[in-house]
Amino acid sequence: MKILVVGGGGREHALVWKISQSPLVDTLYCAPGNPGIAELAECVLIGADEIDALLDFAVNEKIDLTVVGPEVPLTMGIVDRFQAAGLEIFGPNQAAAQIEGSKKFSKDLMAKYHIPTAAYGSFTDRDAAVAYIREQGAPIVVKADGLAAGKGVIVAMTVEEAVAGIDEIMVDAVFGAAGAQVVIEEFMAGEEASFFAFTDGKNILPLASSQDHKRIFDNDEGPNTGGMGAYSPAPVVTDALARDIIETIVRPTIDGMAADGCPYSGILYVGLMIADGKARVVEFNARFGDPEAQPLLMRMKSDIVPVLQACARGELTQTSLEWHDKAAVCVVMASGGYPAAFEKGLEISGLDAAEAIEDLMVFHAGTALKDDKVVNNGGRVLGVTGLGTTVAAAIDKAYAGVKVITWPGVQFRNDIGKKALGR
């Protein structure tokens, strides 16, 4: 069969890497892809948000299944367009993708179906938002309602900081139209984890647990990013807690969306805050996490293609996935200055040395080719992912890869996976 993967980041490299191992696949394309993906699939120079061009390509090439990586094309309605043309596509339609596209939509859904999350208010008026903050006090969380590439969240420790966050989002419009509305939430203490489940709109197939590291610096300090590293499994998600998450969060979400006339098909990402053995929802995403996809897909033993197809067809009867016993850890190597401004086009050295290390994969996220050399082309550049018999061994493996790769100004965290060792 012919498969098209949409996107060009680390998550898409991991998806392409996993899909390419399936005996069902004859031809694999990725649009737009990146230099790492180009070693496994034919890259097509069409942007992930160029829906018309992607549809034309899929029709002309008789693509059997399209797999959407990033959230933007999902919220733009790529799934609706492909389905209307009679093409199979993995991911939620535009109505269902609102679960990520609008924080207010997801919070209202959780309130309606009694899904555990933080108390909240939503506002389109700056003064009303500020009045709510002063009434609630701090710490408090301010979120841009729309898509902001994982960066539209301000965890404010003081009322002044929260008000400054409101002005940044609503007055200065640093996230553009995404900040026309804000959601203000109660601060939740605890340990974060990520939980993923495949679904066809009715049936649920959970994945292994994982944990992301959002802040730019060690010890979870500094501003939020798209994610600086991840590991799987996450010991904070016990088997009993995983069952509880499915029963109290995933199942009511899937059933609630179906009842509301926007059934959710694809992969549901649940960002969780765990305290005292109980989980509450921080956010929902409508796609694989990045960087969580990298360690999860390296650990997945099952062929992913039949699962993707079953979700797209509404025929998910599979109840479990097979996993490698090993743990996996992904360390993100980022451009100097990220998540603020950074320089592009700097040559990356050491990729061959890293790729020669056994049980290590270097997933390309923000890379490009310049004069036949691989250079940095984004904020998060590489996801160096190692397998090991334990989380500690996987950490050592990932950092062995990080050690041999460099470019001017490269930055990365030194404590990815450390929380798991504490358990």
Could you write out the DSSP letters of every residue in 146-170?
Answer: S--TT--EEEESSHHHHHHHHIIII
Judge if the upstream peptide bond of residue 306 is cis by omega within 30 degrees of 0: no
| pLDDT (tens digit per residue) in 78-107 | 999 999 999 999 999 999 999 999 999 999
Q: Alpha carbon of 279 to those of 44, 90, 273: distances in Å?
A: 41, 28, 6
> Which residues partner with 246 through β-bridges?
none
Strand stretches in 145-237, DSSP E? 153-156, 182-186, 191-199, 204-206, 211-212, 215-217, 221-224, 229-232
Give the SS3 label for residue 132: helix
Is the separation of the CB atoms in 5 and 293 below 8 Å? no
φ, ψ for residue 207 (rounded to 5)? -100, 175
Tokens for 382? 């590489």
The Cα angle at residue 415 between residues 418 and 240, in degrees rounded to 5: 30
Distance CA 96, CA 105 (A): 10
Give the pLDDT of residue 423.
Answer: 72
Tokens for 246? 């499915």
How many Cβ atoms from other residues are within 10 Å of residue 148's Cβ? 18
Is the separation of the CB atoms in 48 and 32 below 8 Å? yes
Is the separation of the CB atoms in 372 and 413 below 8 Å? no
Judge if the upstream peptide bond of residue 73 is cis by omega within 30 degrees of 0: no
Nearest to 374 by CA among 415, 403, 333, 328: 333
Nearest to 266 by CA among 292, 251, 248, 285: 285
Distance CA 339, CA 411 (A): 11
Is the separation of the CB atoms in 344 and 376 below 8 Å? yes
Per-residue pLDDT of the chain (423 residues; tens, 9 = 90+): 999 999 999 999 999 999 999 999 999 999 999 999 999 999 999 999 999 999 999 999 999 999 999 999 999 999 999 999 999 999 999 999 999 999 999 999 999 999 999 999 999 999 999 999 999 999 999 999 988 876 788 899 999 999 999 999 998 888 988 889 999 999 999 999 999 999 999 999 999 999 999 999 999 999 888 899 999 999 999 999 999 999 999 999 999 999 999 999 999 999 999 999 999 999 999 999 999 999 999 999 999 999 999 999 999 998 889 999 999 999 999 999 999 999 999 999 999 999 999 999 999 999 999 999 999 999 999 999 999 999 999 999 999 999 999 999 999 999 999 988 877
Give the pLDDT of residue 420.
Answer: 87
Residue type, 389: T
Distance CA 70, CA 11 (A): 8
Domains of the chain and CATH, by start: 2-93 (3.40.50.20), 119-186 (3.30.1490.20), 191-313 (3.30.470.20), 327-421 (3.90.600.10)
Nearest to 396 by CA among 407, 384, 406: 384
Is the separation of the CB atoms in 349 and 423 below 8 Å? no
Residue type, 47: G
| pLDDT (tens digit per residue) in 287-322 | 999 999 999 999 999 999 999 999 999 999 988 899
Radius of gyration of the chain (CA): 20
Give the SS3 label for residue 363: strand
Nearest to 227 by CA among 204, 242, 211, 238: 211
Nearest to 423 by CA among 381, 375, 390, 382: 390
Nearest to 383 by CA among 338, 329, 332: 332
- Which residues, other chains included, contact 35 with Cβ-Cβ below 8 Å and sequence gap of 6+? 364, 367, 368, 369, 374
